[in-house]
């Protein structure tokens, strides 16, 4: 019984080894090897099953042990090639090195605390403004406001103050031109009288020269006294011409100075009228008395740089008006 088992095992192993070598024909084709391996596997499996069943009389444990042995031999005889894949290591977000950011140092000055006195003063100003607190309105509100509304009346006041600022610039320019001129020592009328006198004297000298020339012509042109007299008359005529030029220059300068003074006066009057108009518009927009502090605060809220003169707004009592 043991002899039969050994022969069957040897025969199966030899048959399996032959199939692994390609049947002795030296072929290394992978397709044929797979086919021969599959066939030898099935044959050896069937032979080993029949041999083991005969030898053991139906005991399957020994047959299973032999099958495992055959499988192990086949795996050792035909090792498979493994592909080696090298994967590059991709750094994660934490592994990626970045340049350290420079920290900006911001020095913030600590705001000075508002004193109680300042708070009280602001409350008093807000109370004094009354309806003029509408000056806090936005630019869009000013542009779209009705003329009779509170915001519309404040907008009219703002426009009037802006116009007065333009007149202030014109007045400053006029004063600058006046300062650039030399003030005349006498009036235009006095200068004009001297011009008329000089013109009359010139006319007399011109006639004198005409008469002397006639005398020289009668004397045959050889009279020394007449020649000297003619030269003296021509000298006096030249002096009169130069005097007239100076007088006319003086007159022009005096006229320019007078015109500049008049321009300044007109600019001052226009500015005063515009300031009066602005004052009246502010009164129309207010519902409380207007004081210099109120004017200053309203101008500040409206972004205006100049205020009305104190004497135009001091102790102004405002009549009751529509509080729309």
| Distance in angstroms (rounded) separating the CA atoms of residues 112 and 225 | 99
| Distance in angstroms (rounded) separating the CA atoms of residues 6 and 13 | 10
pLDDT band at 100 (very low <50, low <70, confident <90, very high): low
| Distance in angstroms (rounded) separating the CA atoms of residues 241 and 230 | 17
Query: 316 - beta bridge partners?
Result: 290
C-alpha Rg value of the chain to the nearest Å: 63
Distances 183 to 68, 222, 245, 251, 260 between C-alpha atoms, Å: 135, 52, 19, 12, 11
Among 57, 60, 77, residue whose Cα is nearest residue 4: 57
Grouping H, G, I as helix, E, B as strand and the rest as coil, residue 82 is coil
What integer best gives the mean pLDDT of the chain? Answer: 74
pLDDT band at 105 (very low <50, low <70, confident <90, very high): low
In this predicted model, which residue has the larger pLDDT, 25 or 163?
163
Distances 132 to 59, 92, 124, 125, 280 between C-alpha atoms, Å: 116, 65, 13, 10, 14
Q: Give the per-residue pLDDT at 48.
A: 43
In this predicted model, which residue has the larger pLDDT, 22 or 157?
157
What does the pLDDT average to over 199-218? 94
- What percentage of the chain reaches a pLDDT higher than 90? 48
SS percent in the chain: helix, strand, coil, step 5: 70, 0, 30
pLDDT band at 162 (very low <50, low <70, confident <90, very high): very high
pLDDT per residue over 36-48, tens digit each? Answer: 444 444 444 444 4
Q: Give the per-residue pLDDT at 123.
A: 75
Are 306 and 168 a contacting pair, CB within 8 Å? Answer: yes
pLDDT over 50 at 102, yes or no: yes
pLDDT per residue over 64-79, tens digit each? Answer: 555 555 455 454 445 5
Q: Whose structure tokens read 């069937």?
A: 46
Tokens of 166: 């333009």
């Amino acid at each position: 019984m043991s002899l039969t088992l050994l022969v069957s095992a040897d025969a199966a192993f030899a048959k399996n080894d032959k199939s692994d070598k390609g049947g002795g024909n030296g072929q290394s084709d992978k397709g044929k090897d797979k086919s021969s391996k599959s066939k030898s596997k099935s044959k050896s499996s069937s032979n080993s099953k029949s041999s083991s069943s005969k030898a053991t009389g139906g005991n399957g444990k020994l047959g299973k042990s032999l099958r495992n042995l055959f499988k192990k031999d086949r795996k050792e005889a035909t090792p498979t090639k493994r592909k080696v894949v090298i994967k590059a290591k991709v750094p994660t977000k934490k592994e990626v090195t970045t340049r350290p950011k420079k920290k900006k140092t911001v020095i913030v000055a600590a705001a000075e605390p508002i004193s109680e006195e300042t708070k009280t003063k602001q409350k008093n100003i807000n109370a004094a403004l009354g309806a003029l607190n509408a000056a806090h309105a936005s630019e869009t509100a000013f542009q779209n406001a009705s003329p009779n509304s509170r915001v519309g009346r404040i907008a009219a006041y703002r426009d009037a103050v802006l116009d007065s600022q333009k007149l202030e610039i014109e007045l400053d320019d006029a004063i600058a031109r006046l300062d650039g001129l030399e003030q005349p020592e006498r009036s235009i009328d006095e200068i004009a009288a001297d011009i008329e006198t000089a013109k009359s004297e010139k006319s007399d000298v011109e006639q004198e020269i005409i008469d002397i020339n006639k005398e020289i012509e009668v004397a045959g042109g050889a009279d020394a006294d007449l020649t000297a007299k003619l030269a003296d008359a021509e000298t006096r005529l030249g002096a009169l011409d130069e005097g007239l030029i100076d007088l006319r220059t003086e007159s022009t300068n005096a006229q320019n100075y007078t015109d500049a003074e008049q321009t300044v006066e007109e600019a001052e009057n226009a500015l005063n009228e515009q300031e009066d108009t602005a004052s009246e518009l502010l009164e129309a927009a207010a519902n409380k008395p207007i004081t210099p502090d109120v004017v200053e605060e309203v101008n500040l809220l409206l972004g205006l740089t100049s205020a009305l003169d104190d004497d135009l707004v001091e102790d102004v009592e405002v009549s009751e008006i529509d509080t729309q």
